[in-house]
Amino acid sequence: MKLEKFIEYLKLSARQVTRKRMRVLLTALGIAIGVAAVVATVSLGEGIRFQAVEAIKDQSDLTLIEATADIRGGTIQLITPAKIDEITAIPHILASTAVIREAYATKRQTYLGVMGIDPTGIGDVIKPRYLRGGQIEPGSRQTVLGHDVAETLQRYEGVRLGDTVPILIREYDENGLPVDEEVDFTLVGVLQERDDQFDQLMLIDQGVAQELRGGDASFDGVLVRADDPDNVFTVVDGIKDLGLTATGAFQQIESVNRLMDVVVLLLAFFSGVALIVGALMIMNTMITSIFERTREIGITMAIGASPGDVVQLILYECLFIGLIGGVLGDLFGIVCAWAINVFGKPFIVAQLGDTFSTFAEGDITLITPEILVLGIVISIVLSLLSGFYPALKAARLNPVTAIRTGV
Q: How far is CA 359 from CA 51, 113, 168, 214, 229, in A?
A: 6, 35, 46, 51, 20
Selection from 217, 214, 218, 191 nearest residue 202 by Cα: 191
For residues 145 and 154, what is the distance between their CA atoms, to the nearest angstrom? 11
57 pLDDT higher than 80: no
Mean pLDDT for 394-400 is: 74
269 phi, psi to nearest 5 deg: -60, -45
pLDDT of residue 357: 57
| Contact of 106 with 157, CB cutoff 8 Å | yes
For residues 247 and 250, what is the distance between their CA atoms, to the nearest angstrom? 8
More confident of the two residues 182 and 78: 182
Selection from 25, 27, 19 nearest residue 283 by Cα: 27
Selection from 398, 336, 337, 400 nearest residue 363 by Cα: 337
**Strands, E assignment, 9-63:** none
- CA 304 vs. chain centroid, Å, equals 55
| Contact of 99 with 116, CB cutoff 8 Å | yes
Centre a 10 Å sphere on the Cβ of residue 236 and count the other Cβ atoms it contains. Answer: 22
The confidence band for 81, taking pLDDT boundaries of 50, 70 and 90, is confident
The confidence band for 348, taking pLDDT boundaries of 50, 70 and 90, is low
pLDDT of residue 187: 93
> 0.75 cut: is pTM over it?
no
| Contact of 68 with 197, CB cutoff 8 Å | no
More confident of the two residues 115 and 60: 115
Mean pLDDT for 260-287 is: 80
Coil vs helix vs strand at 327 = helix
pLDDT of residue 58: 73
| Contact of 282 with 385, CB cutoff 8 Å | no
pLDDT of residue 75: 66
Mean pLDDT for 87-105 is: 90
Mean pLDDT for 71-96 is: 82
Q: How far is CA 152 from CA 42, 145, 158, in A?
A: 46, 10, 9
Mean pLDDT for 212-223 is: 80
274 pLDDT higher than 90: no
| Contact of 388 with 66, CB cutoff 8 Å | no
Mean pLDDT score of the chain, rounded to an integer?
83
175 pLDDT higher than 80: no
| Phi and psi based region of residue 54 (left: phi greater than 0; alpha: psi -120 to 50; beta: remaining) | alpha
For residues 362 and 342, what is the distance between their CA atoms, to the nearest angstrom? 11
Coil vs helix vs strand at 370 = helix
Mean pLDDT for 162-167 is: 90
| Contact of 75 with 184, CB cutoff 8 Å | no
Most confident by average pLDDT, 20-34, 147-161, 384-398: 147-161
Mean pLDDT for 186-208 is: 91
The confidence band for 269, taking pLDDT boundaries of 50, 70 and 90, is confident
Selection from 234, 217, 154, 157 nearest residue 190 by Cα: 154
1 pLDDT higher than 50: no
Provide the residue ranges of all domains of the chain, joining segments of one domain with +: 2-59+254-405, 64-248
97 phi, psi to nearest 5 deg: -160, 140
356 pLDDT higher than 60: no
More confident of the two residues 72 and 140: 140
The confidence band for 191, taking pLDDT boundaries of 50, 70 and 90, is very high
Q: How far is CA 340 from CA 50, 377, 388, in A?
A: 16, 24, 36
DSSP annotation string for 157-193: H---TT-EEEEEEEEE-TTS-EEEEEEEEEEEEEEPP
363 phi, psi to nearest 5 deg: -80, 145
Helix (H) / strand (E) containing 76: strand 75-77
217 pLDDT higher than 70: no
Q: Which of 227-236, 320-329, 351-360 has the lowest mean pLDDT?
A: 351-360
For residues 401 and 286, what is the distance between their CA atoms, to the nearest angstrom? 20
